[in-house]
Chains A and B, each alone.
Chain A
Amino acid sequence: MAIALPQRTVIPGFGLTLGITLSYLGLIVIIPLCVLFYKATDAGWVKFFAELTSPRTLAAFRVSFGIAFLAAFINAIFGFIVAWVLVRYQFPGRRFVDSLIDLPFALPTAVAGIALTSLYSVHGWLGAPLAAAGIKAAFTPLGILIALVFVGLPFVVRTVEPVLLDFDRELEESAAMLGASRANILWRVVFPPILPALMTGFTLAFARAIGEYGSVIFIAGNMPGYSEIVPLLIVIKLEQFDYAGATVIATLMLVASFVLLFAINLLQAWTRRRQGG
């Protein structure tokens, strides 16, 4: 893989640092992940397909991917508005709000999970009015959606913000001078260069949401076939010592993660090209 001689240089330590990097990475990440794939082939094709096509597994994948997609979509819309407001407008407390955006990265997921559950349970501050309106939030798929929106919130904001900051306002001025309306400028001049960043943020939020565990399990209710997410199904199978089953599901999740990682890399390259550097 990374085996090639460095060009002639006076800087020492190539062998040492690359050796440390490769062995540490190998021991902690690469070999363990390879063991997962190896164990999955251990299960055999019949077991593999039986596991994947079982109604409970299929339902969990539907719940996880469907709700993660919806959550990422909501984050794309509101994340864009938040980024826009933070970059373009002045209002009191803007800096404070900006540093608060990263809270979902900093707050331990279990804490987020119990806080959201208590907030949206029938007696909670937001759950009670929702219940009065006939909407049950906690312990339903809607609860999962709320947790996943929380978890994915910073991604879109943090990918769109730098692009908006770098955006050349002179383009807007030219369009305005040429007589375009504000709506027209936003749609034809401002939006296109932001689109790649917006899609990158969406994909990052989606990728994070399908793997999320801690913030979801408290609020989800975890009814098999209804509000059970894939990561929880893996944990349940592990607890029942059904290692083969857990491995099969985890392998598929891992493949999905790799596909998304690849997509994110492509999207980021596209963003950079759009920005011209």
Chain B
Amino acid sequence: MVKAEAVSKSFGSNEVLKSISLEVQRGEVLCLVGPSGSGKSTFLRCINHLETISAGRLWVDGELVGYRQQGDKIYELHPKEAAKQRRDIGMVFQRFNLFPHMTALENVMVAPMLLGKGGKAQLKTKAMELLARVGLADRHDYYPAHLSGGQQQRVAIARALAMEPKLMLFDEPTSALDPELVGEVLDVMKGLAESGMTMIVVTHEMGFAREVADTLVFMDGGVVVESGDPAEVLANPQRERTKAFLSKVL
């Protein structure tokens, strides 16, 4: 589903990603962990082309992200084509980024509506189903400011699902939440993983990673330090850097 080959990214002279290579199969859940500034969020944002990679190749579902290759020439995509690519990739942000001037229902409906994905009544029914799926059917007419952080993040997940993505990206989805609200969001994500969604999750929730992830990737300083089965990596880390990090967060 996602294939990265020696992906690198620099902001000016600051090299944030150094030759990242990894692969995610369809239906797989991959958790990215690591200290802040390790480049895991940047890598996630490269996957849906919110950031442009400087070197290497990145494919989603067999398509090059942000570029088109003809022969050995690489062409930049038109913003419209890039937008089309993004529609297949859902993203959930650390700070939810719900649209504050729209109700929960409108937040979920707005993108499919603007992109002509169906009639209003049909989209509304679908949006209500999605809100029910994240347990918020009764809050459909609430504005984001009137919802708790956990509820907002669940609406944000429903909003991303409304585009029927093949892949879901989560950028520290629980880091801005009160501890007691983390569980409800993780439950929704767990359900999503069980339904067979391909997911890449940047997180600090090691419990979630152990329980749900198929692969755990530990990043530091822009490189993949260690990866493998989550239970294995968490219980028996091979590298010193991984050990040091895990001893602080577990």
A complexed with B: no
Instruction: Give B residues with C-beta under 8 Å from A.
Output: none
Instruction: Give A residues with C-beta under 8 Å from B.
Output: none
